Amino acid sequence: MLQSATETVNEDKQNPTSVNDNLTELQQKFMETAFNFAYNALAVQEVPVGCIFVYNNEILASGRNTVNETHNATRHAEINCIDEVNNFCRSKNLDVKKIFSEIDVYVTVEPCIMCAAALYDLHVRSIIFGCKNDRFGGQTVFNVASVLNPVTEVKNGYRAEEAMNLLKEFYKGTNPSAPLDKVKVKGKKARKPSDEATLKT
């Protein structure tokens, strides 16, 4: 059973209640695929987030962050998957709205505010994510659901530690495309908000 977003988001990291037991074997397999894309992202020095869009138990789109590759900070795994589903629907002359409303999203990290809004606006059926996103999370940093009243069900916690470790691994290095003075060390406070630039998911 999918728990509501608000019920799960406040759970402590160490909370032994894992959603592992709640995911079916097939769902776990989908998450495994999403993780593969996250590992792939790390290998090419992109923020390690992987994402799968599932429709009728079939993978309709899969992707990872391509922010550095595209020089576009909005090219998150979820947005790439939305593009893919959109292209698929148009090539097959399918009803885009209807397809999205039956999509289950599997993503290794909590969707950011931007992606959460995009997914809620598309009325995707559910989102299952791994770890929280302390920097940009659409629940953790700003609860997008509180202003958009989504129909989407959200569930989290599956392989959270592994997903978080991937992010930590990435942030240990530096963002290859940010100018040198704009790369800040994690935890250090930047001087001026308008001048700073950090690594992003």
Partner 1 sequence: MSCPPKKIKLEQNTDNQFYPVLSEEFTEPTPMIDVYIDTVTDPRNISKVVVELNTVLPLPELTHLKRIKGKDVLLFPCNKDTAPDMVCEILKKNNFDISYLKNNVRTMSVAEIAPKTRKQYEVVHKLWPCNFHSNKYVEKLCTNTLFSASEIESHVNYMQVAIDIARFSKDPLSIAGVVVVDPKINSIVAVGFDKRIDNPCQHAVMVAIDNVALTQNGGAWQQVNARLDNQASLDLRGIPDDILDVLKKKYRNLRFGATKFKGKCEIETPSDGPYLCTGYYVYVTREPCVMCAMGLIHSRAKRVFYGTKSENGALGSLCKIHTVKDLNHHYEVFAGLLEDGCKKLKQK
76 forms part of the interface with Zn ion (CB under 5 A):
yes
Nearer to partner 1, 42 or 79 (CB): 79
112 forms part of the interface with Zn ion (CB under 5 A):
yes
Whole-number minimum distance, CB 90 to partner 1, in Å?
Answer: 8
CA distance 27 to 62: 14
What torsion do the CA atoms of 39, 44, 50, 54 make, to the nearest 10 degrees?
-110
By CB under 5 A, the residues from 116 to 135 that bind Zn ion are none
User: Given candidates 71, 92, 172, 191, which one binds partner 1 under the rule CB under 8 A?
Assistant: 71
Where do the H-state alpha helices sit in 54-185?
Answer: 67-70, 77-91, 96-101, 113-121, 145-148, 160-172
83 binds, among Zn ion, partner 1, none (CB under 5 to 8 A by kind): partner 1
144 forms part of the interface with partner 1 (CB under 8 A):
yes
Nearer to Zn ion, 41 or 112 (CB): 112
> Is residue 161 annotated as a catalytic residue, yes or no?
no
CA distance 21 to 65: 28
Site string for Zn ion, 14-53 (x = CB under 5 A): ----------------------------------------
Residue matched to tokens 């505010």: 113
Cα angle value 174/140/66 (rounded, 5°) = 40
166 in Cβ contact with 39 (< 8 Å): yes
Candidates 58, 78, 169, 196; catalytic one: 78
Q: How many Cα atoms are found within 13 Å in the side-chain-facing hemisphere of 199?
A: 22
Q: Would you state the structure tokens that stand for residue 100, as one six-digit string?
A: 């999205």
Residues of this chain that interact with partner 1 (CB under 8 A) are 66, 69-75, 79-80, 82-83, 86, 96, 100, 112-118, 121-122, 135-136, 141-142, 144, 147-148, 176-182, 190, 193-194, 196-198, 200
Residues of this chain that interact with Zn ion (CB under 5 A) are 76, 112, 114-115
Give the catalytic positions in this structure: 78
